[in-house]
Chain A
Amino acid sequence: MANNYFKEYPNKDGFFNEYGGAFIPPVLEEEMRKITDAYYAISKSHNFISELRSIRKHYQGRPTPVYYCNRLSEKYGGRIYLKREDLNHTGAHKLNHCMGEALLAKHLGKKKLIAETGAGQHGVALATAAAYFGLECEIHMGEVDIIKEHPNVVRMKILGANVVPVTHGLKTLKEAVDSAFEAYMKDPINSIYCIGSVVGPHPFPMMVRDFQRIIGIEAKDQFFEMTGELPDKVVACVGGGSNAMGIFSAFLDDEECELFGVEPGGRSLNYGEHAATMTLGKPGIIHGFKCYLLQDEKGEPGAVYSVASGLDYPGVGPEHSMLKDLKKVNYTVVNDQETIDAFYELSRLEGIIPALESAHAVAYAIKLAQENPKTSILVNLSGRGDKDIDFVMEKYGLPEDGN
């Protein structure tokens, strides 16, 4: 791609070719412009960068290691490596952009961080960042998710966040986004909206990508240092797509690296039983940006499902949408059962319990290894699976129980 890819994409209006932009009511336009201007002005300053670097090292525990999976590779072939984002503070990659967004908020003199959360991962990461910077934090969460994701609700409360239950509509992520936007619009002067992935109106897809690029920057160096070459294949799961953008961004210019984005295939590829946005969606607009979108015949965002609640979103990051069209990344699908199998394989062969989101990427890496026994595969292990253990035990049980 172009040498100055990161300067050219997105363009000044937030477009990644035809995707992205800011499809928002005028009441939000001015605020988004202010955040964009502030981001450009502040995020490149030496002070900002130094502070963020220090936070990453001393608070988040970065760099996270790249780890060679000896027993997994032995069993399935290939050479499988993991970028251990599960070892990032709070147990997932989300904190990378939350610390960045919160640091920006601090520089802007904002007092409160507002966001939505689905499974609660983004909410926990943002509540953590708010605690670190001494900011207020308001997390909007559907009533249904509040019940389902009880431990994360408790974590957010312990961290001092105000969890606002969303009681209208289906009471899940989509309504939580609407509710959080509404709360933000009531007080855009003192608060800032912190979106949870590389989605939403410009500048969020760019900002979140930039803050997540650290994953790829570290991983590329580490992998080269370990092996003297670049990985043949890089694999990451894609819901909104923040962890995938984080790792892919370092390899876009490397023709010898094949990139794979793994979407949730759910129970089946019938409507409503998956969230394979790029595999089965078509271009549309959701939550202020244009992207591949699963939608019904009326143009309403489609019903989605995945065993991993962090992946069930009917849209996807605009940059992924562009990379699909440019054929820079192969987007593919892994279903629930393959995910559960990979969840146990990694747990038992390597002693690493992956998040169900990340287990999608592991499952695809296993497939690739079986098909290409000589290949090297770098997987972004975006989060750890502690949050999923009760759900997996209840719904699937242990493998020896006949899973």
Chain B
Amino acid sequence: MIMISFAPLKQPYDRRFLSAGDHGIVINMDDLPTDHATKAARALAHAIRKIIADDNIKGIEDMIPGLTNLLVQYNPLVTSAASLIEEITPLLATLTNDEGAGRLIHIPCCYGGEFGPDLLEVATTLNMSTDEVVKRHQSNILDVAIMGFLPGLAYMKGVDEALYLPRRKTPRAHVPALSLGIAMDQTVVYPLPSPGGWNLIGRVPIPLFDAQKSDPILLRAGDRVSFYHIDNNEYNKIASDYRSGHFKVEINP
């Protein structure tokens, strides 16, 4: 478990609870720096899950953490925005750093070549060797800030500062599934083929979204991710082992 402290929330704050229609409320935390707000939103989701487990709150259907807020979707036939606000408000005063996550997941990646068409350009722009880019990308354990936009797309933060680059000026119309892209302090792996503007430096051999599985999404907000380098042969072997059910992703609690 990593312990992160975040700045205290403003109390009171008139933009804390925003309406998201008749079946959702947003708990807005934009009074905190974004990094803190992301963690506070996840911590709040965890605190709410605990009181759901104790049966002290009813009617919540889903909770979606964003970078600076938490969307709570509820069944208006069971509860109301007013009751939820009343039930959630005390949790805000006692938010702890406990996110209830903290799994460490090791994901293989084949950098460069046809899988990482932007690696050379990234290295040239940053004035370092491609080996240095690959080494630095593996050096930091990344933090899954939020999930979303596409099934299984994880926004992983905490990339080595020496690799900070904006997104590409012209997005690609087609990015192959499982491409690994970097931009600013973040890394994404495209779960599905999609248009995209991130700098593609590698590809992973295992799906982050597997519709065939009962639990189809590998990563969760709050997980930590460590990438390790594999070559083309290892890539092909892991991909085929995964398909035949013989590759197990290393997950540490």
Are these two chains actual partners, yes or no? no
- B-side residues, CB < 8 A to A, are none
